[in-house]
Chains A and B, each alone.
Chain A
Amino acid sequence: GNSVTQMEGPVTLSEEAFLTINCTYTATGYPSLFWYVQYPGEGLQLLLKATKADDKGSNKGFEATYRKETTSFHLEKGSVQVSDSAVYFCALSQYGNKLVFGAGTILRVKS
């Protein structure tokens, strides 16, 4: 079946450091790929998405590129802020109405 694997956290960085959170997936065909963010006490918010190979999703300084050859969708940001501290979820959707999530990665950014 479809699955998503994310790097384990927590990831702790200093402000302005470079961020990478690894995400790989297993799926048949060509799923759509997503990154969601969950701030403390809130619901999940869509951060960015990509629908086909080589697409790059971007939002709020975060980027991720759909790499079919490596079945990956790694999340990157060049300079993190304290306000980026949250839980980040990688997810895929095969047929449009369900999401398959990774376990989530806690990011802590220290000033």
Chain B
Amino acid sequence: NAGVMQNPRHLVRRRGQEARLRCSPMKGHSHVYWYRQLPEEGLKFMVYLQKENIIDESGMPKERFSAEFPKEGPSILRIQQVVRGDSAAYFCASSPDRAPGSVYGYTFGSGTRLTVV
């Protein structure tokens, strides 16, 4: 049973380019969460999605960032016109249900390290 798969593991983009980060949840998991880890900081919540729905995007920057989780395929975190401050590790987690306490079911991926040059 494969875990949460994120790709690419490392991504280098020039300022102004677009970055697309992919997350395939564990089989049977229908909830996806994205977190960002800036250098020397802890992980910070960005967005929570179910299939075809954004449930909570309270941690998403207002501009340039978007996320989707289509009916088929992986969840995508998209960053347009990247800037140096977007350089970070982006982690995805999935869980099988939305009941209170579903953080107990979190499984994290290995992350995508984005470097903006």
Q: Which chain A residues have a beta carbon within 8 Å of chain B's beta carbons?
A: 4, 6, 32, 34, 36, 41-46, 49, 51, 89, 91, 93, 95-104
List 4 A-B pairs, minimum CB-CB distance, nearest first.
A101-B42, A43-B108, A96-B100, A44-B108
For B91, what are the chain A residues with a Cβ–Cβ distance below 8 Å? 43-44
Q: A89-B42, A98-B48, A103-B40 are in contact. Are A45 and B108 (CB under 8 A)?
A: yes
Given contacts A93-B101, A98-B59, 11 further A-B contacts (CB under 8 A): A6-B42, A32-B101, A32-B103, A44-B108, A46-B106, A49-B104, A96-B101, A99-B45, A99-B106, A101-B42, A102-B42
Assess the B110–A97 pair: CB atoms within 8 A: no
Assess the A99–B103 pair: CB atoms within 8 A: yes
B25 CB-CB contact with A under 8 Å = no
For B103, what are the chain A residues with a Cβ–Cβ distance below 8 Å? 32, 34, 93, 96-99
Distance to closest chain B CB from A11 (angstroms): 16
CB-CB contacts below 8 Å: B1-51 with A: 3-4, 6, 33, 35, 40-45, 48
Q: Which chain B residues have a beta carbon within 8 Å of chain A's beta carbons?
A: 3-4, 6, 33, 35, 40-45, 48, 55-56, 59, 91, 93, 98-104, 106-111
> Which of the residues B43, B99, B106 comes within 8 Å of A89, measured between beta carbons?
B43
Q: A96-B101, A97-B102 are in contact. Are A103 and B56 (CB under 8 A)?
A: no
> Which of the residues B40, B45, B110 comes within 8 Å of A43, measured between beta carbons?
B110
For B55, what are the chain A residues with a Cβ–Cβ distance below 8 Å? 97
In the bound assembly, the distance between CA atoms of A46 and B102 in angstroms comes to 13
Q: A44-B91, A93-B103 are in contact. Are A101 and B44 (CB under 8 A)?
A: yes
> Which of the residues A6, A95, A96, A99 comes within 8 Å of B43, measured between beta carbons?
A99
Distance to closest chain B CB from A10 (angstroms): 12
